Amino acid sequence: MAGGKMKKEKSKAQQHTPYQGGISFHKSKGQHILKNPLLVDTIVQKSGIKSTDVVLEIGPGTGNLTKKLLEAGKKVIAVEIDPRMVLELQRRFQGTPYSNRLTVIQGDVLKTELPYFDICVANIPYQISSPLTFKLLAHQPAFRCAIIMFQREFAMRLVAQPGDKLYCRLTVNTQLHARIFHLLKVGRNNFRPPPKVDSSVVRIEPRKPRIDVNQKEWDGFLRICFNRKNKTLGAIFRQKNVISLLEKNYKTVQALKLSHEDPPKETETKLDLSNLDDFTDDEGMDMDGATDDEMEVEDGEAGEVQSEFKGKVLGVLKEADFEEKRSSKLSLQEFLYLLSLFNKAGIHFC
């Protein structure tokens, strides 16, 4: 009897457990809820939210950060994939002055069409860091800024500078679209349950106006440059497969130019571009995926080709004094300049 009574009392106690401890969090879904109220206050303060702002929150969980955002802004739009959290969020603010200023969207943020917002504040599941970052940067109209909690290593890649160990293709791609600032480091013990790694909060400010560049061309160019980021560009662009790819692109562009001057007959064969996919796919970059050295094309140094086109490619590098430079130490402006020189010479990457 005593044993049964103890179990009954334990069950009753669980029913009255506050929501902070009453919902089980799934690490597999990246659910790590901020439990430090001082940290929540600091994040909101550094966000610079205005009383007229519409705030987008991603992954609100049980609403600890949501409450502070509602106090600071005009409206909060919260996107949450877990129906348990959605129910808890609605229950928490039901009947409060905040209820008519909170909109909860249940769904996967990567598959959701985001409404207008002025500022984004989010503690996100780390496994969606890369695709979410680029989804936000592609959002129109451009928002003022985003304050986001990332896994620390991912955050440091975003803010890395030329010559830093973590400087990579992700760095240059994001800095093309935005200015990024590191705000604060966050220890793992500030979360419940604690993740296995530390975190960092960064501020992302979309560039206005945007830098005008063909995104597929840019991506194809960076993939080659960061094939081996610590090799010289001369060594990278001497590889047989790189020269072969660029020469096929070159011939394709020339053929397309001719087709505008002399429209092809319907019986003419279409150019095969399937072998360009490895370089021009617009795939997302996963923070836990391959390193730059792993995102590579097959080395072709043993079978270097000697051709007029190869001389054209290397001539661009020599002309602008890039042959002995390394991608790991080039600035965004230098990458943009080098791409423009290649394009001016008729050399394209998609």
Q: Is 123 part of any known ligand binding site? A: yes
In whole angstroms, what is the distance from residue 140 CA to residue 15 CA?
45
**Residue whose tokens read 């890649």:** 157
Q: Is 108 part of any known ligand binding site? A: yes
What are the two backbone dihedrals, phi and then psi, of residue 65, each rounded to the nearest 5 degrees? -80, -35
Using CA atoms, how far residue 246 sits from 61, 241, 250, 325, in Å, is: 48, 9, 6, 20
In whole angstroms, what is the distance from residue 121 CA to residue 116 CA?
14
Q: Is 71 part of any known ligand binding site? A: no
Q: Is 32 part of any known ligand binding site? A: yes
Which tokens is 334 given? 């230098």
Longest dimension (CA), the chain: 95
In whole angstroms, what is the distance from residue 16 CA to residue 90 CA?
18
DSSP 178-201: EEEEEEEEE-GGGEES--SS-EEE
Which tokens is 184 given? 């604060």
First to last CA, the chain: 76
Which of the 8 DSSP states describes residue 96?
A: S
Query: What single letter denotes the amino acid at residue 241?
Result: N
> H or E element: which one contains 255?
helix 240-261
**Dihedral angle of Cα 284, 285, 287, 289, to the nearest 10 degrees:** 110
**Which segments are annotated as binding site for S-adenosyl-L-methionine?**
32, 34, 59, 80, 108, 123
**Which segments are annotated as binding site?**
32, 34, 59, 80, 108, 123
